[in-house]
Structure 1
Amino acid sequence: MLAAQRAMGAYAKVGLETSTMGASPHQLIQMLFEGARSALAIARRGVERRDLAEKGRAITRAMTIVGEGLRGSLDLARGGEIAANLDALYAYMEAELIAANLHNDAHRIDNVDGLLASLQSAWSEIARPAAAPLATPATSAMPAVAGA
């Protein structure tokens, strides 16, 4: 049984590595949101089952994704007020997760998950216009706009 779990874990790791290799920066951030939210679901389950080890591992994973992945990807020098606000929000999430871990508090886990869900939804909306531009005769003759 343990060998099968290790094999499945190795398979999942290879799958993740393969999917990240071809991903755009936007898709990588989306994967970080998904990974953090998945870890929070496991942490919530750990709290409900009173499985402190599971909860601790999952919260640590979520904190790493939020702190090193999402927060670490911010360009504070060029990102202006939006980057500064996201930095503060990610710091708040990390503090909430520390408190959730210390107090076995599913409410704080849910709070962070809700914040991540909102950000993930907004992040998905950003990609939609760029992912499927509509080309009509009227718009196809227009010059391209940088950053659009």
Structure 2
Amino acid sequence: MSAPNLRDRYLQDSINTASPAKLLTMLYDRLILDLMQSEEAIRNDERDVANEKLSHAQEIVIELRCSLDIEAWDGAPGLANLYGFILTELIGANIKRDADRVAGCRKLLEPLRDAWREAASAGT
């Protein structure tokens, strides 16, 4: 088996065996990575890369929003609203090629990622 195939298999196995909390932190980690890469791509006028990364980030935000149980806790509606705002900002940033809007989204999401990571590690 080739190295890329082994890596893909390892990643798929990691996803398939991860707890829900770990999956959430993995999504946030990838979202932040996409935002950092898209911000850099916009600043370097790499439009195709920026569009690809922002589109993927939007898909992750949609997944986070769709999987959020609004009835589960009091803060869920606020988080859903934040996801809606982030999605709108990312679409606008992609259209306007605005790295500062991407950076603003990243700055809002990084503390959430850190909080979810802390909660996940406390639960294990």
Answer yes or no: same fold by TM over 0.5: yes
SS at match of 2:67: coil
User: Unaligned 5+ residue runs, structure 2?
Assistant: none
- Greater RCO structure (CA 8 Å; 6+ sep): 2
Report the equivalent of 2:102.
Answer: 109
- Structure in which a larger fraction of residues adopt helix: 2
Report the equivalent of 1:4.
Answer: none
Runs of 4+ in 1 over 4 A off after TM superposition: 7-12
User: Unaligned 5+ residue runs, structure 1?
Assistant: 1-6, 132-148
Out of 66, 78, 81, which is 1:72 matched to?
66
Q: Which has the larger radius of gyration?
A: 1
Aligned length: 123
SS at match of 1:47: helix
- Counting aligned pairs with the same residue, the percent is 30
Report the equivalent of 1:96.
Answer: 89
CA distance in structure 2 between the aligned counterparts of 1:117 and 1:34, rounded to whole angstroms: 9
1:129 aligns with 2:122: yes
Amino acid at match of 2:100: H
SS at match of 2:75: helix
Report the equivalent of 1:30.
Answer: 25
1:80, distance to aligned residue in structure 2 (A): 4.0
State the TM-score, normalized to the length of structure 1.
0.76
Give RMSD over aligned pairs: 1.8
